[in-house]
A = this chain, B = another copy of it.
Amino acid sequence: MFFEGAEKKLEVVLSATSPSLFEKDRSFWEELVAKSKATILSELSGPNLKSFLLSESSLFVWKDRILMVTCGQTSLVDAVLFLLRELGKENVDCLFFQRKNEYRAQMQPTSFLDDVKLLREVVDGTAMRFGRLHSNHNLIFHSNKAYRPQVDDTTVEFLIYDLSEQASAFLTGSGLSKQEIRDFFALEKVLPGFEIDDFVFRPYGYSLNAVNDDDYYTIHVTPQQRSPYMSFETSLPITKAEQGILNHFLEILSPGAFDLMTFNCPTTFDFTHQDYIQVVHSKEKLSIGYDIHFRSFYKRQGQPEKPYQYLE
């Protein structure tokens, strides 16, 4: 069974004079999510941050900011175009649209460059690729309008490939409960203080949103043998002390490879792990104030592996 775990992501920051996004009712978010061909599964509502768990990933809403992540065969660009129309592009101070390289790009409704063409009809922006086209990479389109991010506006994306056989075996087990998966990752221990909203897909797959005041983290697991993948993303700055969180996931999943992509998060630059070697490091300081680093790591060579056999 194949499922496309690779994510698409949008981030929109509104101007200070825009009305609060908390004034929008649920039907607005339902419509937004439907534009990308996903649906809302559940919701957490805090005073500073609303979170929606989606049939394909996550939506987070602050009073002046939206973050939406979708995977599978969704068309996130249509959600971006909807937002620009509904909120008024003049009220958007900063727009990011991002796509990770897909496992099977030929199954996507559009390519990144198709999306960029549509976005450029509405927004003046820059498109770039971090990482190598032949291998893991992340594609970013951002608005060119002058902008200065808040000091605490950091993002860490931790993209984890080739989960170990043991981890995949557990995560594809039948009848797993939410609590069993939370316990497997020891989430409440390593990331205390967060309210959690999670969902176990059938036959397998797991999504989680967690919020704490205006911070979030989100986890999406695609454990199937053909494309074993997990993403962890957070607004936490992952300080030196918090690098233990990344090591914690590496210990549990013992993945064959991972990418670490950070936005304004210099405290992650010294992240290394004795079992992994960095093979790509692509970086850029954008004119709109974000310092982006993309780093790809592979496990130091162990035993040769068998090829994957396609039985259908």
Contacts and interface: CB of A to CB of B under 8 A. Distances in A.
B227 A130 contact: no
Interface in A199-251: 226-227, 229
A284 interface: yes
A101 to B, nearest CB: 7
A130 B162 contact: no
Interface of A: 101, 103-108, 111, 113, 116, 126-130, 132-136, 140, 161-162, 226-227, 229, 256-257, 277-284, 292-294, 298-299, 301, 304-310, 312
Given A103-B133, A136-B134, A227-B133, A128 B304 contact: no
Contacts of A111: 104, 106-107
Contact of A134 (B103, B108, B127, B279): B103
30 contacts: A103-B133, A103-B134, A104-B111, A105-B106, A107-B111, A113-B310, A116-B310, A126-B309, A128-B307, A128-B308, A129-B308, A132-B161, A132-B162, A134-B162, A134-B227, A135-B135, A135-B136, A135-B161, A256-B280, A257-B279, A277-B301, A281-B304, A282-B305, A282-B306, A282-B307, A284-B306, A284-B307, A292-B307, A293-B304, A298-B298
A74 to B, nearest CB: 15
B136 A161 contact: no
Most chain B CB within a 10 A radius of its CB, from A101, A105, A106, A108? A106
Contacts of A104: 105, 111, 133
A133 B226 contact: yes
A184 B103 CA distance: 36
A136 B129 CA distance: 17
Given A278-B301, A283-B307, A298-B298, 19 more contacts: A101-B134, A104-B133, A106-B108, A113-B312, A126-B309, A129-B310, A132-B162, A133-B227, A134-B136, A134-B161, A140-B307, A277-B277, A277-B301, A279-B301, A280-B298, A280-B305, A282-B306, A284-B306, A292-B307
Nearest to A303: B281
Nearest to A135: B135
A13 to B, nearest CB: 21
A310 B128 contact: yes
Q: From A226, A257, A307, name the one whose CB has the most chain B CB atoms within 10 angstroms.
A: A307
A217 to B, nearest CB: 22
Nearest to A304: B281
A307 B134 contact: no
A279 B307 contact: no
A307 B129 contact: yes
A278 B241 CA distance: 31
A307 B130 CA distance: 5
A277 B298 CA distance: 10
